[in-house]
Amino acid sequence: MRSDWAFGGAGVADDLAEDLGLVEEDTLALLSKKGEHVEREGYDPHHGCPRQHRELDSRLVNLKLESSFYSLLDSIAIIVKATIDLVGWSENITFKTPPFAGANELKFIAYGDMGKAPLDASIEHFMQPGSVSVVKAMADDVSSGLVDSIFHIGDISYATGFLVEWDYFLSLISTLASRVPYMTSIGNHERNYMDSASLYKTTDSGGECGVPYETYFPMPTPGKDRPWHRPMYTTNERYTGLHNVDHKFIDAVEPLLLQNKVDLALFGHVHNYERTCAIYQKMCLSMPTKEGNGIDTYDNTNYSAPVHAIIGMAGFTLDEFPTDRNYNWSLSRIAQFGYIRAHATRNELKVEFVNADTKEVGDSFRIIKN
């Protein structure tokens, strides 16, 4: 795991190793003289004047899986908390490592199309209104200790060329990314310039992607820089400019999903939540059964096809669903800010859509196997 800190004052870096406590004897922290130091010019938060500070790039190696580590840094200025802690201790940070490969269960959160927003009205450019409430709701889940990993599947900060907005975004997600593994993949707003190998001839995009499958599946076309972020199926074609069925995407990739017996495919780009039947080539190969508690259950004991879920409702202005569109493959539609919470075991994958404002579960389904 790689960690970066910024601090000021003579001699602080040399003493930093003694001030860092790690709760595992087998953990080796490459700090202080073993770390990489960079001199940079920063600004005093009270005076706005240039001041020298040092950045420490350190590596934490031999971390045990499914363990927690904490660090407490003593410094003169912690950049991420400069407006609060000019002198003194930074926040205690506990980081949870992921389960080992092949573990019997995994609990994760996933979403797309988040962005960032200020806590007040001090910034105007291209804000995503729902991002703050979504992060606050997810922070409660992360604090509970019941989250192993977070997956952010494209359209990350919507910085659109403004570097400072990446700082806003990283500050926003710091309560999440500093505690559990946070994995991202690019969307069209991470490659939003012209002539950059886009599959789609649109002005806002240079490449689409979702869960980072492009290095896992053998892609049918030679350009592995053409992953997808947009969905195969959506009922929002009127408001998003998409086709309700992306035939190019389906023809190129959907056979791979069946070949590898993918149970669940997650997509972003459309700013709402939508769930399908077990679908292939625009046809429902199987439908879920409704349990007494209202949970839809897909029985994949005899595998049929993947369930698709659009999860682009994490912050950007929502796309409302058209009232005159009704497709039999679309089983659940929710235009609310939120995220999905999932619990996977060897025999079951349970997924819940969580409303960020109320923290209530708006949709719940299971995929089971014997």
pLDDT at 326: 82
Q: How many CB atoms lie within 10 A of CB 350?
A: 17
**Domains of the chain: which residue ranges?**
76-368
Rg, the chain, Cα only: 22
Q: What is 49-89 written as a DSSP string? A: -EEEEEEEEEEEESPPTT-EEEE--EES--GGGTTT-SSEE
In angstroms, rounded to a whole number, what is the distance separating the alpha carbons of residues 278 and 301? 13
Continuous segment of H or E residues that includes residue 139: helix 131-143
**Hey, what CATH class is 76-368 in?**
alpha beta
In angstroms, rounded to a whole number, what is the distance separating the alpha carbons of residues 198 and 208? 7
- Say yes or no to pLDDT of 226 above 60: no
- Decide which of 221 and 140 is more confident: 140
In angstroms, rounded to a whole number, what is the distance separating the alpha carbons of residues 364 and 293? 10
The model's pLDDT over 7-66, given as tens digits with 9 standing for 90+, comes to: 554 444 444 444 444 333 333 333 333 444 444 444 444 544 444 555 555 566 666 665
- DSSP-derived 3-state class of residue 316: coil
- DSSP-derived 3-state class of residue 122: coil
pLDDT at 223: 43
- Decide which of 52 and 335 is more confident: 335
